[in-house]
Structure 1
Amino acid sequence: MTNQIVINGSGNETSNGSSRHKQRPPHFVLVPLMAQGHMIPMVDLARLLADAGSTVTFITTPVNAARIRPVADRIRLSGLPITFVELRFPAAETGLPDGCESVDLITSADLFKPFFEALSLLADPLKLYLSELTPPPDCIIADSMNCWTASVARSLGLPRFIFHGPSCFFIFCSLMLRQHKSLAAVAGDLDPVVLPDLPQRIEMLKVQVVRWMDRPEWEKISQEVRAAEASAQGVVMNTFEELEPWCLERFRKTTGKTVWPIGPLSLYKEEVESKAARGKASSIDTELLLGWLKTKPADSVVLISFGSLSRNSLSQLVEIGRGLEEAAGVPFIWVVKETAAEAASWMEGFEERTKGRGLLIRGWAPQAVILAHPAVGGFMTHCGWNSTLEAVAAGVPMVTWPRFGDQFLNEKLVVEVLQIGVPVGARLPTLFVDEMSQEAQVKGEQVGEAVVRVMAGGMEGEEMRRRARGLGEKARRTMEEGGSSCENLKRMMEVADLQHHVHAAKIKI
C-alpha cells in the first residue's frame, strides 16, 4: 500500500554524518494516537521539547491536522522547530468510512477494530518517511496504543519511548487487576471489585473497570500493546510526581521501567491565546467569554463539559438543566455538543430561562482558559484525564461524572484519594448514546446536590477548595525551572540522546 505524504511546517536543514549530534539539536518524532484527547497533550509535549532545544516531527493525518490547525499555525508563527507531517489514513483499506481518522469520529462499536487495524497500516509509510528524513530522527515517542511503532523504531535502530495519556492511577490499577486476575473472580458486571495493591481500600463495580482490550476479540492487539510497552526504553506520562507519588513509585517498581512524569502539559503556556488554541478552534469568541466571566464573583461559576466523545440523550440534557436551575442560583458555563434538533430546541428554552446566570457554548470550548479564570470555582467533568489534570492545574474542585474507559478510575482518584471532588452518582458506562431515546442515568436532584456541595461553601466545600488550590500550586511549581516535571523532561532528553548514540555505535560496528 502506498500512502501519500504531505509535509507541513518547517524543519532545520543540517548535514548528515557521524558528528551530527555535535552539529544539531536532538530530533524527536512524536506519534500520537489519532484521538482528540491524545492529540492535545502530545502537541503540548512537542512544544515543550522544542522550547527545550529539540527539533520535533509530529505525525498526524489530514483530518486530525485540520483539527489542530489553530495551534499549528501559532507554532509556525512562533518559529518553534516543529514539523507537522500528514500521512494518508488508510480508511478504505479496512472498511472505515471516508474521513474516519479519529476515535471520536467512530460511530459504532464494530468500527473500533478496523480503526486500530488502519492505524497499524501507517507503519510502512512512517518508516519510509523517517528513513529519508533530514535531519535524521534520534528518538520516537509514541502513544502506548500505537504498538506498531515498535517495529518502525527497531528497523531504523531508534530508541522508542511510550507516552501514556491517562493517569498513572489508571495505568497501575489496570496492571494490578490483570496481574491478580481480579475480574475473572467476579461473576456479574454489577458485582463489586476491590482494587488490589493500593494503600487504601477502593471498591468499584466490575463493569466500571472492564477495558475494551480485556475482551477476547481484542486479545491479539492487547498482547501487541503489552509487548510494545515491555520493549520500550522508557515511559513518558502526563502527570507529576507530587500528584501521584505512591502510584508512580509502585508502577516503576512493578514494571522496572524508567518513568518520566512531565505534566501537567496543559501548563506549557500560561498565555490566554496559547490556552485557547489547544485542541480545535473555539466555538466562542475568547474576548466575549472573558467579558462574561469578568462580571461574576470569584469562585462562583461552575463549568459543565463532558469532553470530545461523550454525548447526552435529550432526557439527560433535561435533567442536567433541571439540576442547574435548582442549584441555588449558581452561575454556570455549559458546553453542549449534542446536535439533535429536539435537543437544540430544548436548549433554546433553557437558555432563555437562565439568561444572565448561564452561558451556553455550542461546540468546542477553550476549557483551559475557562478553568484558569478566577471566577470559576467548580467543574462538572466526565473525568477524562486531560480535563481532570486541567482542573488540578487550575486548583478547581470537581463534580465527577465518568462515562467510560479510564474515567471511573479517575473519579476514584479525584474523590477518594485526592479528595477534591464530589460524585454525581453515575454508575454505568455510556459511550454511544442515542440522543433522542436513552433514559437519563442521573437525575436533576443528583446534579443540583453535587453542584451545591462543591460550590456553596461549608466545611466540606472549603476543605475541597483548599486541597485543590494546594495541588494547583504544586502543579505550577513542578513545571517551573527546578521543578520535578521540568527536571524529568531534561532527563528524558538526555537518555534519548545517550541511547541513540548506543544504537548508532552498534550499527556502525
Structure 2
Amino acid sequence: MENDVVVVVVPFVAQGHLNQLLHLSRLLTAYNLPIHIVGSTTHNRQAKLRIHGWNHDSENNIHFHEFETPHFESPPPNPNSTTKFPSHLIPSFKASSNLREPFAKLLAEISNTARRIIVVHDYLMSPVVQDVVLFPNVEAYAFHGASAFTTFSYIWEQNGKPCLDDVESYTQLTKIPVVEDLIPQDFIEFVTTHVDCKKFNSGNIHDTCKVFDGKFIDYLSKEGLCGSTKQWALGPFNPVSINNSEEPTKRHKTLEWLDKQAQDSVIYVAFGSTTSFSNEQIQELASGLEKSGQKFIWVLRDADKGDIFKGESRNIELPKGFEERVEGKGLVVREWAPQLEVLAHVTTGGFMSHCGWNSSMESITMGVPIAAWPMHSDQPRNATFITEVLKTGVNVGDWGCGGDVITSSVIEKTIRLLMDSDEGNEMRKRAKKIGEDVKQSVEEGGLTHMEIDAFVSHITRK
C-alpha cells in the first residue's frame, strides 16, 4: 500500500530532546500522518517510559524503530564537577552517530512506497541524517529545542552583536551571561565536527509559540538558520490540558499531596535530567526550603546516567531529620515525577527550575512563574528570556554555574520573593495570562493551530 506523505523523526538522545520530538509526533498524528521514530533501543524505551500528558500506546500511527548502538562506557555523574555540564553523557551522544546506517536503510525502504518523506531531525543529529541527499523524494527539517530568543542570540553573537532596530530586544540580549567557557572541549568538538545541514535543510522547527516569542521568530526568518529562512513555531509541543480524572489509585502521590493544599501555595523544585548537585549544595537547598516556610515538592534525583536502566543510582542524603521536620509542609520525591501534571495543578504557584527548555515551556504553558537556576548549555539564555523578556521569573541569586554553592539564605530569599510578595504575585499574574494566551493559541484559529496547519499543508503539498 502506498503512503502519500510519511514523517520520520530523529531525536537527539538527551532526555529533553527525546521528550520534545515525541510530543511533536503526537501533534502530527492528528493530521493522519504516519510517524516513524528512529532511535536506539535504550533511548526509545527511556522516552516512552517518561512521556506524560498522553498515552503513546494509544497512538496507532506512531511507529518506533529501535536499533542497537555499540556499547559505550559512561562514567557516573560527577556532583563535584566545577561545571554542571553533563560530560558523563558525551559517550552516549557520540554512540548515536551509529544510527546513520540503519536510518538510511529505513529511508530506502519507505521511499519506495511514499510520495514524499519528511525527516524531522534534531540539529545535533545532522550526521545521522546526512544521507537524505541520496533520495529525491525526501525533505529534511532541523529541530531547535529552545526558545527563538535563545536560538537567535547565538546567531546575533556570531554576527558580532549588531545593534537592532528594537532597542528593548537589544538590551535584553545584552543581559545574557557569558558561560560558553564552561562547556567542555570534547562536547564543543562533537558539535563543531557535525555535518553542516545547510545543504539539505528545507526549514527549521521550533518548540516555541508566536504568542510570546514571535518577535524572535521574525528575526530568525530574516537571518536564516542552517541555510533556510523558513521558521515554523509549532509549540507548545507538550499537551496544554491535563486530565486529572484518573482513578485515585492511578494518580501519583505528588498529585494526591497537592490536592490537600491551597491554591498557588506550593513551589515545585526540580532540576531536570542532567543536573547533579554536590552534597554541600543539597544541604543548602534543603535548609533554604525549610527556612522559607513555604509549601514545596522537591524532586531529589541525580542526573541521568548514559543508560538509565543500568547501574546503581546515587543515594543523596538530606540533613538529619529534615523530612520529619517538614512533614505536612514539604514532600521529597526521589523518583521521576509527572512534572506536567504537577505544574498544571491549581495549587502549584511557583517552579524552581534549571530552565531547560522542556521545563520552561511546560511552566509557561501552565502559567507558573519560575525561580531560575540555570546550569549549562542553553539554560542561562532561557533563564534570561524568562526573567528579562517575559518577566515571569526571578533569578536564584547571581549566576551560579561555576561550581559556586548558592547559600540557604539566598535560596530562602528567592522563594519568599516568588511565593510570598507583591512582586511575586505580579509575576504569577503575568505567567497565568501568558499561559492562557498559549492555550488559546492551540485552539482552532489560534496562532499555533494556524502555524501547524500551515506546516502540514506545506509538507503535504501536491
| Structure of greater Rg | 1
Do residues 81 (structure 1) and 61 (structure 2) align? yes
* 1: CA distance, partners of 2:429 / 2:391: 10
The 3 A distance-change label for structure 1 pair 98 and 411 is: closer
Do residues 455 (structure 1) and 419 (structure 2) align? yes
Aligned equivalent of 1:313: 278
Aligned equivalent of 1:57: 36
How far did residue 53 of structure 1 move?
1.4
Query: Does the CA-based 8 Å contact 2:85-2:274 persist in structure 1?
Result: no
How far did residue 210 of structure 1 move?
4.8
Give a deviation string over 1:68-112, Cα, whole Å, max 9, x none.
Answer: 3347897564243110110111345xxx45999xxxxx9973862
Aligned equivalent of 2:455: 492
| Larger displacement relative to structure 2 (446-455 or 83-92) | 83-92
How far did residue 467 of structure 1 move?
0.8
| Larger displacement relative to structure 2 (36-45 or 284-293) | 284-293
* 2: CA distance, partners of 1:217 / 1:381: 23
How far did residue 497 of structure 1 move?
2.2
The 3 A distance-change label for structure 1 pair 409 and 272 is: same
Give a deviation string over 1:113-167, Cα, whole Å, max 9, x none.
Answer: x544432221111111221237546210000111124422111220001111111
Q: Which of 356, 374, 377 pairs up with 2:349?
A: 377
Aligned equivalent of 1:398: 370
Give a deviation string over 1:165-186, Cα, whole Å, max 9, x none.
Answer: 111111110111122179xxxx
Aligned length: 434
* Residue type of the alignment partner of 1:299: D
The 3 A distance-change label for structure 1 pair 221 and 409 is: closer
Give a deviation string over 1:320-368, Cα, whole Å, max 9, x none.
Answer: 11111111x2100000014544x33x25621111000001110211111
* Residue type of the alignment partner of 1:446: V
SS of 1:377's equivalent in the other structure is: strand
Q: TM-score, normalised by structure 1?
A: 0.78
| Larger displacement relative to structure 2 (71-80 or 446-455) | 71-80
How far did residue 271 of structure 1 move?
2.5
Structure 1 stretches lacking a partner, 5+ long? 1-14, 101-105, 183-195, 275-283, 431-438, 502-509
Aligned equivalent of 2:327: 355
Give a deviation string over 1:404-451, Cα, whole Å, max 9, x none.
Answer: 000111111111111111101242436xxxxxxxx7620001101111
Give a deviation string over 1:300-333, Cα, whole Å, max 9, x none.
Answer: 0000000001111111111111111111x21000
Do residues 242 (structure 1) and 211 (structure 2) align? yes
* 1: CA distance, partners of 2:101 / 2:57: 32
Aligned equivalent of 1:280: none
Query: Does the CA-based 8 Å contact 1:267-1:479 persist in structure 2?
Result: no
The 3 A distance-change label for structure 1 pair 229 and 385 is: farther
Do residues 232 (structure 1) and 201 (structure 2) align? yes
Name the Cα RMSD after superposition. 3.1
Instruction: Tell me: higher relative CO, structure 1 or 2? Use CA pairs within 8 A at least 6 residues apart.
Output: 2
* 2: CA distance, partners of 1:32 / 1:221: 15
The 3 A distance-change label for structure 1 pair 81 and 402 is: same
Aligned equivalent of 1:109: 87
Do residues 159 (structure 1) and 136 (structure 2) align? no
Structure 2 stretches lacking a partner, 5+ long? 78-83, 303-312
Aligned equivalent of 1:301: 266
The 3 A distance-change label for structure 1 pair 75 and 292 is: closer
* 2: CA distance, partners of 1:34 / 1:57: 16
The 3 A distance-change label for structure 1 pair 98 and 68 is: same
Do residues 199 (structure 1) and 199 (structure 2) align? no
Query: Does the CA-based 8 Å contact 1:162-1:229 persist in structure 2?
Result: no
Q: Which of 243, 258, 280 pairs up with 1:271?
A: 243
